[in-house]
Chains A and B, each alone.
Chain A
């Protein structure tokens, strides 16, 4: 099957594979530990979030951290990735 029209590159393939793997892991966790799918009160604005919500907030927030980094600074993007990981850890632990 010719997929050249999709213009795949190795970095984008890795990126989407990582997202797919995370979603598959979340689905597996849903079956193995269904309690995490229940909303729990978080520290941010008093929002009650499920595990899926926290993943969504982490991914969306990380995307904006990267965009802000690209738009506002000229430094290496890996620092934005580090900030995103810290942000995601905070969201999953306390969010």
Chain B
């Protein structure tokens, strides 16, 4: 059947496109312009071509920060997605418990990032923090200002505490949207709990899981405030992620050209990985045999 192409919808998105042009495209173009020039301030620029890109791509500092960023994102995704799914599956579907659980889950999401950083910075301190003091009292050497492992553990636990709720809420929304008829059919067929999860709940939640993975990946890959507040990128450079390194380069060293080149590379990596996630997770929706769902 011939599809109807209605172009009126394009005019409806025009205001949003205009807004995006001013808030995203113009700053992006400015960053690209900076990335091919050198400046010493006073709005004076000197053309350097692709030199900053070459320098950044070959620097050990960039490679190390990139690796740390990937490791951080992979770790928190590996924890938050299954944990969020498990919590959502164990939450009540009706009654007073629903409201209580939803409010409890929403609480960490309401706290601003810098406050979360401050809470955990104090909470994990050896001298006055409940976590740090208790762990050291138990004989565990936990000091995030001196020990790289402790710094990583603090940041990962903080992120899991802050953002698993988002995965829970998204998964829960997907779960409650499944029509009861599916569960009734599974009961009639004598399906096990695992079979219900594998063949009903998981496929029906694939969309929300995709959103959860994408949101958490992009957010964790660009995390800045919390590590800046808690560890400041330390000890040494142990928690200097790409974003922290970028700010050090742009603001601390005032190397605007290299920082702009790094921003462009960073931006391209985020787009590539997000596109890969999206394509892999929506691939079966566009199978030629099934058509678009």
Contacts and interface: CB of A to CB of B under 8 A. Distances in A.
Nearest to A10: B47
A7 interface: yes
Contacts of A15: 32
B268 interface: yes
B58 A71 contact: yes
Nearest to A4: B43
Interface in A1-48: 4-9, 11-12, 15-16, 31, 34, 37-39, 41, 45-48
A60 interface: yes
Q: Chain A contact residues (Cβ within 8 angstroms of B): what range?
A: 20 to 34
A47 B279 contact: yes
Interface stretch (B33-41, B147-155, B172-180, B202-210): B33-41
Given A9-B33, A41-B288, A60-B271, A47 B283 contact: yes
Interface stretch (B49-57, B108-116, B163-171): B49-57
A38 B7 CA distance: 15
Contacts of B265: 67
B53 A5 contact: no
A64 interface: yes
Contacts of A39: 286, 292
Interface residues of B, number: 31
Contacts of B287: 46, 48
Nearest to B26: A6
Contact of A60 (B43, B53, B275, B292): B275
Contacts of B30: 5-7
Contact of B286 (A11, A16, A48, A70): A48
A40 B60 CA distance: 42
Contact of B272 (A31, A37, A64, A77): A64
Contacts of A41: 288
A77 B50 contact: yes
A63 interface: yes
Interface in B246-293: 265, 268, 271-272, 275, 279, 283, 286-288, 292
Contacts of B272: 60, 64
A2 to B, nearest CB: 10
A5 B43 contact: yes
A58 to B, nearest CB: 13
B45 interface: yes
Given A60-B268, A67-B57, A9 B36 contact: yes
B271 A70 contact: no
A7 B33 contact: yes
B101 interface: no
Contacts of A70: 50, 53-54, 57
B153 to A, nearest CB: 32
B157 interface: no
A81 B37 CA distance: 21
Interface in B1-25: 3, 5, 7
A7 B275 CA distance: 30
Contact of B7 (A11, A16, A31): A31
29 contacts: A5-B30, A5-B43, A6-B26, A6-B33, A7-B30, A7-B37, A7-B43, A8-B33, A9-B45, A12-B29, A12-B32, A16-B29, A16-B32, A31-B7, A39-B286, A39-B292, A41-B288, A46-B283, A47-B279, A47-B283, A48-B287, A60-B271, A64-B268, A64-B272, A67-B268, A70-B57, A71-B54, A71-B57, A71-B58
Given A48-B287, A67-B268, 18 more contacts: A5-B30, A6-B26, A7-B30, A7-B33, A7-B34, A7-B43, A7-B45, A8-B33, A34-B5, A39-B292, A41-B288, A47-B283, A47-B286, A63-B268, A64-B268, A64-B272, A67-B53, A70-B54
